[in-house]
A and B are shown apart, each in its own frame.
Chain A
Amino acid sequence: MSIDVPERAPETGQARGHRLRAWLLKVFLRVGVLPFLLVIAVVVFSVLSDQFLTAQNLINLIRQSVYLILVSMGQMLALATGGFDLSVGTIVALTSVVSASVMSTMGADGGSAAWAVLLGCGAGLAAGSTVGLVNGLGIALGSVSPFIMTLGVQSIGLGVALALTGGVPVSGIPSAFGDLFGFGTLLGMPIPVIVTAVIVVAMYVLMTRTATGTHLLAVGGNAKAAALSGISTRRTLLLAYVLCSLLAAVSGLLLTARVNSGEANLGGTIALESIAACVIAGVSLRGGIARVESVVLGAIFIGLVQNGMNLTNVGSYMQMVVLGMLLILAVVADSLRHQLISQGR
């Protein structure tokens, strides 16, 4: 660390502290607040609980985090264009209810389980992406602010999901569905983790290696400049919300498989959690900045905090308090970072 300073060979402790601070500041400006929070959380929880750093718990943690990872990547797309999607929870719920209903109806009619699962998944994805399409049309064509549009759609979708089921969980799903997508493993890896890993790679390629990825960031970074460069901002916005809903819908299917029933109350807190995951991961609320790998890490961090709090017996009410505080802390850190960057550091 001190090799590249030829002027003064023996460093005083004070100078080293100074350098460390400068280095930490650089990391903060580059990547944001996430590395710091991650280190703090890991240290705190491994001190408080000896179960925390076991292999079993870490695998558990990843398995539990996949649902949030998927939704957060969708949320990231909306944030990248300078908006956000408050209706992701509704998409999860609607997907769950619709797919479970189709599966249990088909299964009860004596059809094959494979067909029931296939059609159920298709119906669920279609229902979920319809919500995204409505969001996208309102925001891109109707110029409704993302806040109002997705807030309204969130209420509409949840109402529909509850009306479809009368508020009662939909049971009678073919057990093969849960066995495969809820608890199944392939070569020792949980299937939900594999599905998520594939989607993460696809999203990474989309964001870094295709023109579409650049266009999403450009629309968020400066919509006018994007339009002047011949990019259709409407189509890009529409795409962002449809893709976001598809990712949330996949998450909804995997959750349905896990709980083995269609439930309208799935995903109740996921809008907040996914926004928190993104913001902590350095996704700018002003749009234009988003990295898939950071968002995945951000979602895992949220899962890690919840996992750690469960192990240390923090009640679920207190967990809500912590989550809200983390979100606000992340936004404060983000704006501080933005200020420092714009001062030309």
Chain B
Amino acid sequence: MVGGRRPPIAQAGMPLLRTHGLSKQYPGVLALDRVDFDLRRGEVHVLFGENGAGKSTLISLLAGVSSPTEGSIELNGNVVRLRSVREARQKGISAVFQELSLVPTLSVAENLFLGEEPRRGRLLDRAAMARGAERVLAELQFDIDSRRTVARLSRAEQQMVEIAKGLRAQASVLILDEPTASLTDKETLRLFELVRRLRAQGVGIIYISHRMQEIDEIADRITVLRDGRKIDTVSANGMSHDRLIEMMTGRAVEQIYPHIQARPGETVLQVDRLSTASGVRQASITVRRGEVVGLAGLVGSGKSELLRAVYGLERITSGRVTFLGQDTTGASPARLLRRGFFYLPPDRKGEGLVLGFSSNDNIALPILQSRLRGRFGLLNNDERERATRDASARVELTPQNAGKAVGLLSGGNQQKVLFAKGLTEAAALYVFDEPTVGVDVGTRSALYRLLRDLCEQGAAVVLISSDLPEVLHLSHRAYVMCAGQIGGELQGKAITEAALLSLFFQRSPEAAA
């Protein structure tokens, strides 16, 4: 069972894996709509699409995480039903999920063999487990001690363990969901080497990535998905980036990202050599009125923590924050909010919204004690009505959505509510942390237009994002963070994908300083 299967003998002309009219209906959403997809032996097939386009749904069906509502999956010409992850693995389909499927409290070796522990009789064979783990890690040249607890590994190391877990069994189909999202470029190169080796062995690889450079480097074919439907499958040879983005979004690039006029004015936020308990080291940034400042970097690079610390959500160990000319180092979110600092958190369900409240109640939350305070300390309901109506209108939230519990709204509409919370009072500084995660393209361009309006009306905007095109097209200036430090600053036309990515990784201690 542990050994898995070698790819069966090739049958000429027949794809390794093929889906016919594959659909998945979730309550209220058709996540995948009659998709025909095929994977050949020995190819790297990239799935390309926005968040919510159906990529994750497609791979979850192929990996046995969930079952299709309609359609069929063929493996080597035979229709198969994949009722569980284990069954898919036994048939030779192995998946490396982006959302880590590791148990933080267990060791690396235990995680690698979770669910398929080697046994001797009824007891665990710990020695075999340790040997097996060492062998897999050595084969991948991942330098991780298999006895360490996963919780104590860095994010990149955890990602490597996740990959090792997917590769432990010999698979004929390997699914990699954004495997490089938190790897350094050295580790990425090693992963690519491995992917090429597997491809040469005839393994079919489904690869999800947003990074154009990676797609250029490794893809054989590309299937573009949008709104649950397959747009097309194309050869990677000679595809232009703009064409891919147009296929992904269904509109021309210029239509999605509005042009924002930069008119830099006085400094609103000045951060001097800030360090935090969570790992930001000596970071300094400046943000002025009338400009959009991008903040890019890997997950865990500190780009989110830096502004969270400024907003009083992380413990500051040294450094100084000046907001609107006043020292606000370590000030509470409540105080900063009153002074005109709006922070939009990345995790809208966890931190941003009260899911049981209606959208109006959510929007009114930050101004209950200020603008809505009426006579005798009672709430001023007329003012509340006015404030929420105006804010909802500005984010183009339809009235029939305004009364519903926010938890029932789509991701895009939830994000609109979150934005609206920041519009009830004019702020001097807007910090948007991953503002378009899981948001459809229509909502996205609406949110971008809003961002433009805020900036052109003289507010300062900080855009923290893992979505490179977003930083690329909207920022006037961009900082890149790497390992807790500011790795570099780019301005205007110098903000290119290549320039940003080159700053993502620490090259040497001197270069990072």
Contact = CB atoms under 8 A, between A and B. Distances in A.
B110 A222 contact: no
Contact of A229 (B85, B99, B119): B85
B104 interface: yes
Contacts of B103: 217-218, 221-222, 225-226, 288
B28 interface: no
B124 A211 contact: yes
A230 interface: yes
Nearest to A219: B103
A94 B359 CA distance: 50
Interface residues of A, number: 29
Interface in A190-237: 205, 208-211, 213-215, 217-218, 220-222, 224-231
A217 B101 contact: no
A61 to B, nearest CB: 32
A323 interface: no
Contacts of A209: 123-124, 126
B104 A222 contact: yes
A341 interface: yes
A210 B122 CA distance: 7
Interface SS of B by simple majority: loop
A300 B127 CA distance: 33
Most buried by A among B106, B152, B278: B106
Interface in B99-158: 99-106, 110, 114-117, 119, 122-124, 126, 151-152
Interface of B: 65, 84-86, 89, 97, 99-106, 110, 114-117, 119, 122-124, 126, 151-152, 277-279
B119 to A, nearest CB: 6
A231 B99 CA distance: 17
Nearest to A205: B123
Contact of B100 (A213, A225, A230): A225
25 contacts: A209-B126, A213-B124, A214-B110, A215-B115, A217-B103, A217-B106, A218-B103, A221-B105, A222-B102, A226-B103, A227-B85, A228-B85, A228-B97, A228-B101, A229-B114, A229-B115, A229-B116, A230-B85, A230-B89, A288-B103, A288-B104, A341-B151, A341-B152, A342-B151, A344-B279
A215 B106 CA distance: 10
What are the 3 tightest A-B residue pairs by CB atom distance, in nearest-first order? Answer: A230-B86, A288-B105, A229-B115
B101 A214 contact: no
Given A225-B100, A229-B114, A230-B85, A210 B123 contact: yes
B262 to A, nearest CB: 39
Contacts of A230: 84-86, 89, 115-116
Given A211-B119, A231-B114, 19 more contacts: A209-B124, A210-B123, A211-B124, A214-B110, A214-B114, A217-B103, A218-B103, A221-B105, A222-B103, A224-B101, A225-B102, A225-B103, A226-B115, A229-B101, A230-B84, A230-B89, A230-B115, A343-B278, A344-B152
Given A209-B123, A341-B151, A214 B117 contact: yes
A289 interface: yes
A72 interface: no
A73 B196 CA distance: 50
A210 B65 contact: no
Contacts of B84: 230
A231 B115 contact: yes
A111 to B, nearest CB: 37
A104 interface: no
A221 B106 contact: yes
Contacts of B119: 211
A215 B103 CA distance: 10
A217 B123 CA distance: 16
Contacts of B115: 215, 226, 229-231
A340 B110 CA distance: 24
A260 interface: no
A209 B128 CA distance: 13
Contacts of B277: 343
A341 to B, nearest CB: 7
Contacts of A210: 122-124
A289 B65 CA distance: 26
A150 interface: no
A101 interface: no
Interface in A318-345: 341-344
Contacts of A213: 124
B402 to A, nearest CB: 32
A284 B89 CA distance: 32
Most buried by B among A215, A230, A289, A341: A230
A60 to B, nearest CB: 36
A96 B106 CA distance: 38
A203 B106 CA distance: 18
Nearest to A289: B105
Nearest to B105: A288
Contacts of B104: 221-222, 288
B69 to A, nearest CB: 20
Nearest to A286: B105
Contacts of A224: 99, 101
Contact of B101 (A215, A225, A342): A225
Contact of B106 (A211, A214, A342, A344): A214
